[in-house]
Structure 1
């Protein structure tokens, strides 16, 4: 579509966190920047990352650097001017230190020439092709379209009458959306999602026996790879449940709210207003895409609430100004509010945010009618007894769903009165 600026990377490699990442690569390619999504984290790539680490890194860093080093060892790796895509983290996560870590590890493997690419306003969104603003818009359209397609997949697959048909329709839809993003036209993405929804609707299902719904939450990089969440979704479906994954947009809207707060604290009103406008635009895009497949969604509230709702939910349990870890309770409350009967928390080993979230679980459950909650920790050891624990969890979820239904037919609502934050003091 456009001629690539020779100063740009020859290929941008994007961590394979999930199918959403294909939206980033496709949008970059649409406007002249070659890009490729790294393979999903696997035992081989994670072993590479663990061998490259120092023993103090969280799971996310091992996933990213392991995937990049493993890809660089393949014969078709673009060694001319490669770049590893890794957005900047400004607060509440140790990821703020990963740029220097990645450079050190890459240098140890003879890859010191690999650029750590963090497109942002200060570098004119380097690596985002010839039209960065359009690329960023396309990425958002792709994020939401893929998220919605995935949501429809998980809502319909447990009830399909032809095993494998829903997954096949999902793969066709994913390819259709990626192709639409590569066209460079956002409206093509809307049409691709609508067509993919129609394709999903053709898969015969039987909902005569509704299943209890389980919300799966945790760090976003753990929720879209069956290896990392121990294939819990299919295991739960086999045991008679239905899984709803934490929506990708919720996390990004919350990040927007933090960026707005930071800008105001720095006295940069213009930057704060710019992010507020971007956030409003993103909500508009979400509503547009939801409308194209609304008839397929079972959600009472198919669009994400404003971030201030999530922040209010978090403040019941955790002070937003301390460190990461508060997002999990906010997501848990919202999922319970929307009718799930159990909460499955995927905890990556050595992630302080998820560990804090797990520690807050008893307090959260107390406010949510003692909703069943299960923490599953991924530590690359194979998930000992995960199946047995899921079986017991599903039994609790089914009982909770029956008890709540018999007590009141109304949709569950989280308590409106905020409880005091857990007091924390600096060491």
Structure 2
């Protein structure tokens, strides 16, 4: 959420930032609400001063026997009381309108974010690894013989409908091994704290990280009023909701492996083959809560943590700096990691790493107390996939496929697969 004081100070800069994201100017509307809110507060305070002054004079009029003045003052006190209540309600209503408007506006991009309206404006930062060469036509994951028995879309559809998958046997084990490998790397080598949290959260948590109110149709609301998380970014970031942290405890770096749920509203016809785009999937998420001076530095660190997973798995990928028009709602700057998928002969997103500044912290009221004293200030937050487990499974299987239908698996997974490094054409770990 945006700071209305900054909008007051430079409305043109605010509107220019929105324009870079393809959003119409909003400062005039916001400042009109802000002016109406502050005017109501000022008038309420003036009416309160008048009421208090009249209240002091009521007793004097009564004591002096001036009945007419007593009645006039008593009526004035009642009138001012009603006026104060009305003005307070007006200020409250304008404040609610202003908050609702601010909650619906995206974050502003950093100055170094590329210009652009969509993914065509994204800029490649670098690419690592070489896509494997095959002397046969590589298949998509769901068509590789060694995988078919363990990746069952038909049974999943019988159970839950479209965009679900049932993983069994060796494929389920490789999927689990990937999550364990990612977690262990982030915990033991990258210094992140493992968190196992709920996948159902209150509405305030979804508002805090920006999924609500604007993107409610993209998530699942349960009848109990709880929401299924679209990413454990929601759970991890909201741990500090409403808190004032000691500066010495920053940064707080966390990771979690969780189920995630997305309705994929509006994505009909996109990436529906296989398990690339599912309603239920798993991710290993990274979240950092930092001092404002360290946010952009932390973004580079987090990007490195995600890239390291791909490097260890021996997967070719490229890192893209997203343009202003293609970034997520809450981001000020985002890197997308795109892994090479031979079956599609293209790079596909496998991680998105974003710096949000104080945008989420304002929504959550998450602050820190400076070590040297002074007024608490808002923390900065970051999040990133480290990585999407299902998409990493796809990449591992497609890049390791052999002409006979078997798959060579990354050595990095061997400790979690009993030392096995291959998937046979019959679907067995060997």
TM-score, normalised via structure 1 length: 0.20
Higher strand share: 2
TM-score, normalised via structure 2 length: 0.20
User: Which structure ranks higher in relative contact order (CA pairs < 8 Å, sequence separation ≥ 6)?
Assistant: 2
